[in-house]
Amino acid sequence: MRQAILPGARQQALGTGFNATTTATDVISGIDLTGKIAIVTGGNAGIGLETTRVLAAAGATVIVPARDTEKAKHNLQGIANVELDTMDLLDPRSIDAFAERFLASGRPLHMLINNAGIMWVPLRRDHRGIESQLATNYLGQFQLVARLWPALKQAQGARVVNVSSFGHQMAPFHFEDPNFQHREYHTLQGYGQSKTASNLFTVALDQRGQAVNVRAYAVHPGSINGTELGREAPLELFQQMGFCDAQGNILPEVAATLKTIPQGAATTVWCATSPLLNTLGGVYCEDADVAELDEGQIEHRPDDPSTARGVQPYSLDEANAQRLWTLSEELTGISFPAS
């Protein structure tokens, strides 16, 4: 019988020499991706766009599925080796259709980067009654990986990178009421739960995928200036948090603590390509290294986004990871044995 791994047992820094200022271009230096195929959800904006640009520049063919293809076409203009397709993570039929089109191409999939996500949204539910952040940030990931599994196995050495967040520290996964049907809705609780789910999925996926040479990683990109993640949040919220002035301009002292978009994409690209991870998976990473397990020893200061680091043991718990896998199959109606 396989012995259970304690939560966070693999969370040991590798000493990569990278840090919070490292860029995506830095981590991929010297790596040739010619002949490799990547899919990057949300790959037409923010850190997803930078991830697409850097992987394509290294020789990979990058497929970007997007909900708004006109916007995506405009943003991706001038980047070679990119293919654009349509997909809406809130629509299970759209995910299936995209996956079917890719599988029909007969190509292997070497890198699946689940980058797309939403945050700070009011209570919304999809047609299944699933809360929108859980549906988009996690269940969409689960379904897409399940549907693309044949292509990932075909690659004979694939990586799945789930873009998570320090926001997982806002909430564990609420197994009794994941869709806020019997408790008051708080948008950051919903966001935190969805990112904890992504971390737990990474643990279970890597455990199952090792036998077929598919490894999985969860990523905290960092606190980043210039993304669209907070586009639905009211200006008053950022002002209350002390991030903006009365006109909505980010305060210089806050901006100085935030990552740039090239820095924010670094850990995603590192997890997708670094040879240091050839024999390691199922870990949560930040600043282009394996993150430290947060057992209460890390000081998190609201006035300093750079202290938003570390990973909670509850989001790496193996038993909860297996429990979530079963629940995810029930919620999506997908049997995903991952074998």
Higher-pLDDT residue of 254, 230? 254
Nearest of 162, 51, 148, 160 to residue 108 by alpha carbon: 148
Cβ(120)–Cβ(230) under 8 Å?
yes
Q: What is the pLDDT of residues 101-153, one digit of tens each?
A: 999 999 999 999 999 999 889 999 999 999 999 999 999 999 999 999 999 99
Structure tokens at 7: 């939560």
Question: Residue 55 CA to chain centroid, in angstroms?
Answer: 16
Per-residue confidence (pLDDT) for residue 221, from 0 to 100: 96
Least confident among 8-22, 42-56, 250-264, 277-291: 250-264
Q: What are phi and psi of 163, to 5 degrees?
A: -75, 105
Question: Residue 292 CA to chain centroid, in angstroms?
Answer: 18
CA atoms 69, 60, 98, 204: torsion sign: negative
Structure tokens at 81: 């080796």
Residues annotated as catalytic are: 191
Average pLDDT over residues 278-298: 96
pTM above 0.85, yes or no: yes
C-alpha 160/C-alpha 277 separation (Å) is 12
Q: Which DSSP category does 36 fall into?
A: -
For residue 246, what pLDDT band results from cuts at 50, 70 and 90?
low
C-alpha 45/C-alpha 5 separation (Å) is 37
C-alpha 206/C-alpha 199 separation (Å) is 11
Widest Cα–Cα separation across the chain = 61
For residue 270, what pLDDT band results from cuts at 50, 70 and 90?
very high
